[in-house]
């Protein structure tokens, strides 16, 4: 996870923003009621949705048939929500409408519980109170209640919409799905309003301020405000603040429309609010219990960002921010690898973090300025375009920092990585550079995420690609096998086509109407620039025998991390070897050159802070190991720099070697290198293990219930 503790300033700002959201949404019934006195309901919704759609359309991407289909379904539901809300407001007071609309929280919770567990007495009481309160406010002898029924129906439809959105939203880029819904709603209401269009022009021109307010402030700006706020405020607190919305609604109705509450209205409103609070507090209890079951006891239980649905479908708490808020918030704060979506915390130093958190769990400390430095070095000196290999470290902070530093292309190997990038950085370009892919992954990457670059290393994989996508607008790279012996870990045993196979694959790719490209990988942690020279000589042979129009040459990764005690040529020597060899190829001017470093960009970007749980002689047992974030130490024969940190007193100057064991019951959970640390090391001391940015966070897992997934930022 990325730890969710926030500063007091951030949380207070989050409260302020959520109160602003409740204030704005509380004004919606009054604004709509004011607008429909002159502008027809259909025209009012048309203008509102067109404005919101125009605001979000520039951010839409990866539109395809399935996204459009599901967007239309959601758009129909959203249209129904707007229509029933507006029709209901024709015959009901705005202040009463705000309380009735709040029933959507009750309906959502009922749907959740009916499908997943028995209803608790608290929920039953909440439902009885809420509906009794509405009945108490609405019914009076001889008074029509048709508007109340329309609003109850609207609240029900909102609940259905939330559940459908929870089903569809994980599949697509959030903003694209949002835009389709708004345009569908605008189109449907425009069709309904065509007969009255001519007569409405003057009404629209006379009421444009309030229509702009509804479209821009009440629809679009609310999405942005709640997106930011929900990164800093826990879910149950956000939901509690949302229950204030009906109160604001009543105030607006009183101040602007002169509507007043009778005594029975006050009583009914109080009953509704109590019911809402009971529902929210019940949901919070369920969430906390669920989290406690999925997190080791000595790790902090953190509050998830309010979302449309968690992985188990729980904690759906959004009100009429149209849940698009939560959907878009997910695009900024994606779920962590251990299924907890959280904000992150920044510290000035490791010592600052230790004094604040006093962690008994491993903490990955991320140094963002090192990422920026390495990214700038690569983009300034590599003779081509730089991609990042997501598998090396997929933490959202890392990905965001690389994107800000100018790396906008990403080497992805799975749908999970593609989804992470598409959600977190919708403007980034994903390259599906795994030579072996399932048919489902190929189809979904193309249709849902708009991926247009793929890799093959065999005729069988190319046939699979053609069978799924046909002759289409994609670039297909042929991955060539490379000569071993230059890197710590050879990758050509598993992947890569020989020269003869590469020639045939390139010819077939071009004949199928696809754009051909070539890629290779010299191996992980390459130690000799000559590896790239030899690989590019193979590329030259392939191109001489298959003179296709190459779109780009991808020289892959393998760029080394400069670990302590390793003698490796400088990175500039690697770049020079690549540039000189490519010059010999005499590629066309429009043929680009790519590289896809992982380790080379992030090897020193992180450290892991562990705690000593036991010392037995010169054996120490720490709370992280080869099943957590430290497997690379053994795999690549590393001896990382270490530092003992003790907050209450300085450690001894004399050093000694310690044998290091991880926390699990597995006997192989031991590091092959020793740590040289102060001789007075004791239980409770912390150790910072440096040079842990590559293949550390990415490899953590829950073996024996231990997980090294807490990430903080040092800046």
For the four alpha carbons of 557, 563, 566 and 568, in that order, the dihedral sign comes to positive
In 3D, which of 418, 478, 411 has the Cα closest to residue 442? 418
In 3D, which of 449, 376, 375, 381 has the Cα closest to residue 412? 449
Rounded to an integer, what distance in angstroms lies between the CA atom of residue 185 and that of residue 372?
43
For 181, 325, 407, the CA distances from 178, given in Å and listed in that order, are 5, 10, 27
* Mean pLDDT rounded to a whole number for the chain: 79
Count of CB atoms situated within 10 Å of the CB of 194:
11
501 and 622 co-located in one domain: no
What local confidence, expressed as pLDDT, does residue 331 receive? 40
Residue 300, pLDDT > 60, answer no
Lowest mean pLDDT among 192-201, 369-378, 680-689: 192-201
512 and 574 co-located in one domain: yes
617 and 553 co-located in one domain: no
610 and 574 co-located in one domain: no
Mean pLDDT of 592-598: 97
Lowest mean pLDDT among 121-130, 427-436, 631-640: 121-130
- Point out the residues that are catalytic: 665
In 3D, which of 463, 492, 490, 466 has the Cα closest to residue 479? 492
Q: Which of 543, 573, 595 is the last residue of a domain?
A: 595
Q: Which residues pair with 608 in a beta bridge?
A: 364, 689
Residue 341, pLDDT > 50, answer no
Q: Is residue 3 part of a domain?
A: no
What local confidence, expressed as pLDDT, does residue 312 receive? 32
Which CATH number goes with the domain that contains 695? 2.40.37.10
**What pLDDT band is residue 144 in, cutting at 50, 70 and 90?**
low
Residue 187, pLDDT > 60, answer yes
Q: Is residue 426 part of a domain?
A: no
In 3D, which of 100, 101, 110 has the Cα closest to residue 136? 100
Rounded to an integer, what distance in angstroms lies between the CA atom of residue 466 and that of residue 225?
45
What local confidence, expressed as pLDDT, does residue 237 receive? 53
Q: Are strands 655-661 and 675-678 parallel, antiparallel or unpaired?
A: antiparallel
Q: Is residue 344 part of a domain?
A: no
Q: Is residue 169 part of a domain?
A: yes
When mean pLDDT is compared over 25-29, 79-83, 506-510, the highest value belongs to: 506-510
Please give the angle made by the CA atoms of 113, 118 and 120, to the nearest 5 degrees.
90
Q: Which helix (H) or strand (E) holds 444?
A: helix 439-447
195 and 241 co-located in one domain: yes
26 and 129 co-located in one domain: yes
Helix extents (H) in 207-261 = 208-212, 222-229, 235-242, 245-257
541 and 625 co-located in one domain: no
Q: Is residue 217 part of a domain?
A: yes
Residue 574, pLDDT > 90, answer yes
Concatenated DSSP letters for 495-518? Answer: S-B-HHHHHHHHHHHHHTTPEEEE
Helix extents (H) in 8-64 = 8-35, 41-56
Q: Which helix (H) or strand (E) holds 79?
A: helix 65-89
591 and 614 co-located in one domain: no
Q: Is residue 634 part of a domain?
A: yes
- Contact assessment for residue 196 and residue 43, using Cβ atoms and an 8 Å cutoff: yes
Helix extents (H) in 546-619 = 571-585, 599-602
287 and 150 co-located in one domain: yes
Please give the angle made by the CA atoms of 425, 47 and 162, to the nearest 5 degrees.
50
Residue 62, pLDDT > 70, answer no
Concatenated DSSP letters for 545-611? Answer: HS-----EEE----PPP--TT-----HHHHHHHHHHHHHHHT--TT-EEEE--SHHHHTTSEEEEEE
136 and 163 co-located in one domain: yes
Rounded to an integer, what distance in angstroms lies between the CA atom of residue 387 and that of residue 375?
10
108 and 255 co-located in one domain: yes
What local confidence, expressed as pLDDT, does residue 493 receive? 84
Q: Which of 554, 569, 595 is the last residue of a domain?
A: 595
Please give the angle made by the CA atoms of 227, 230 and 231, to the nearest 5 degrees.
95
The residues, any chain, with a CB within 8 Å of residue 36's CB and separated by 6 or more, are 44, 86, 89, 90
3-class DSSP assignment, residue 6: coil
524 and 651 co-located in one domain: no
Q: How far is CA 416 from the centre of its chain?
A: 11
- Contact assessment for residue 361 and residue 26, using Cβ atoms and an 8 Å cutoff: no
Q: Is residue 32 part of a domain?
A: yes
Residue scoring higher pLDDT (566 or 441): 441
Q: Which helix (H) or strand (E) holds 202?
A: helix 197-206
The pLDDT tens digits of the residues spanning 2-44 come to 444 445 566 677 778 877 877 887 787 777 766 666 777 777 7
Q: Is residue 379 part of a domain?
A: no
* Segments forming the whole domain that contains residue 692: 606-714
Which CATH number goes with the domain that contains 526? 3.20.20.10
Residue 598, pLDDT > 80, answer yes
Q: How many domains does the chain have?
A: 3
Q: Which of 595, 627, 655 is the last residue of a domain?
A: 595
């Amino acid at each position: 996870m990325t730890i969710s503790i926030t500063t007091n300033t951030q949380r207070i700002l989050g409260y302020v923003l959520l109160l602003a959201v409740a204030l704005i949404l509380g004004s919606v019934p009054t604004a709509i009621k004011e607008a429909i006195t002159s502008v027809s309901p259909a025209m009012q919704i048309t203008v509102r949705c067109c404005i919101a759609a125009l605001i979000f359309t520039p951010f839409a991407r990866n539109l395809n048939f399935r996204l459009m289909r599901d967007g239309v379904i959601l758009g129909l539901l959203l249209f129904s929500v707007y229509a029933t809300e507006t029709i209901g407001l024709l015959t009901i007071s705005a202040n009463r409408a705000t309380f009735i609309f709040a029933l959507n929280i009750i309906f959502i919770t009922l749907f959740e519980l009916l499908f997943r567990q028995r209803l608790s007495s608290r929920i039953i009481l909440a439902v009885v109170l809420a509906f009794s309160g509405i009945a108490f406010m609405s019914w009076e002898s001889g008074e029509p209640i048709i508007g109340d029924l329309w609003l109850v129906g609207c609240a029900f439809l909102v609940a259905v919409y939330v559940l459908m959105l929870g089903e569809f939203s994980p599949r697509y880029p959030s903003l694209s799905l949002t835009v389709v819904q708004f345009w569908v709603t605008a189109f449907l209401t425009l069709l309904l309003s065509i007969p009255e269009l001519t007569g409405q022009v003057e009404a629209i021109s006379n009421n444009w301020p309030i229509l702009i307010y509804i479209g821009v402030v009440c629809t679009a700006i609310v999405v942005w405000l709640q997106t930011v706020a929900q990164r800093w405020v826990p879910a149950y607190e956000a939901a509690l603040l949302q229950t204030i919305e009906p109160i604001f609604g009543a105030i607006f109705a009183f101040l602007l429309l002169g509507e007043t509450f009778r005594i029975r209205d006050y009583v009914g409103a109080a009953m509704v609010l109590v019911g809402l609070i009971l529902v929210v507090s019940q949901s919070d209890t369920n969430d906390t219990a669920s989290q406690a079951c999925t997190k080791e006891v000595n790790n902090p239980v953190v509050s998830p960002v309010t979302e449309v649905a968690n992985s188990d479908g729980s904690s759906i708490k959004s009100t009429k921010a149209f849940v698009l808020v939560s959907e878009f918030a997910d695009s900024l704060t994606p779920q962590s690898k251990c299924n907890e979506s959280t904000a992150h915390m920044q510290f000035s130093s490791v010592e600052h973090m230790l004094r604040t958190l006093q962690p008994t769990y491993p903490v990955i400390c991320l140094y963002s300025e090192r990422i920026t430095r390495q990214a700038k070095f690569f983009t300034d000196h590599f003779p081509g375009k730089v991609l990042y290999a997501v598998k090396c470290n997929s933490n959202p902070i890392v990905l965001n920092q690389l994107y800000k530093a100018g790396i906008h292309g990403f080497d992805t190997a799975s749908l999970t990585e593609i989804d992470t990038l598409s959600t977190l950085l919708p403007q980034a370009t994903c390259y599906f550079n795994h030579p072996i892919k399932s048919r489902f992954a190929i189809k979904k990457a193309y249709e849902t995420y708009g991926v247009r670059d793929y890799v093959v290393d065999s005729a069988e994989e190319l046939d699979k690609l053609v069978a799924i996508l046909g002759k289409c607008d994609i670039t297909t790279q042929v991955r060539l096998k490379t000569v071993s012996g230059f890197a710590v870990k050879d990758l050509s045993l598993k992947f890569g086509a020989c020269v003869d196979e590469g020639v045939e694959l390139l010819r077939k790719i071009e004949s199928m109407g696809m754009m051909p490209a070539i890629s290779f990988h010299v191996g992980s942690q390459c130690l000799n620039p000559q590896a790239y020279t030899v690989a590019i000589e193979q590329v030259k042979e392939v191109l001489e025998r298959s003179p296709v129009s190459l779109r780009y040459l991808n020289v892959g990764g393998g760029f080394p991390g400069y670990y302590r005690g390793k003698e490796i040529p400088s990175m500039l020597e690697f770049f020079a070897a690549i540039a000189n060899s490519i010059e010999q190829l005499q590629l066309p001017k429009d043929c680009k050159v790519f590289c896809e470093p992982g380790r080379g960009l992030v090897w020193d970007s992180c450290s892991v802070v562990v705690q000593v749980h036991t010392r037995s002689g010169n054996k120490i047992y720490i709370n992280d190991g080869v099943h957590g974030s430290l497997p690379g130490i053994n795999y690549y024969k590393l001896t990382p720099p270490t530092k003992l940190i003790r907050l209450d007193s300085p450690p001894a100057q004399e050093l000694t070697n310690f044998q290091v064991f991880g926390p699990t019951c597995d006997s192989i959970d031991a590091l092959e290198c020793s740590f040289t640390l102060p001789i007075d090391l004791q239980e409770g001391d912390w150790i910072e293990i440096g040079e842990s940015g590559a293949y550390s966070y990415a490899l953590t897992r829950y073996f024996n219930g231990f997980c090294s997934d807490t990430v903080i930022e040092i800046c």
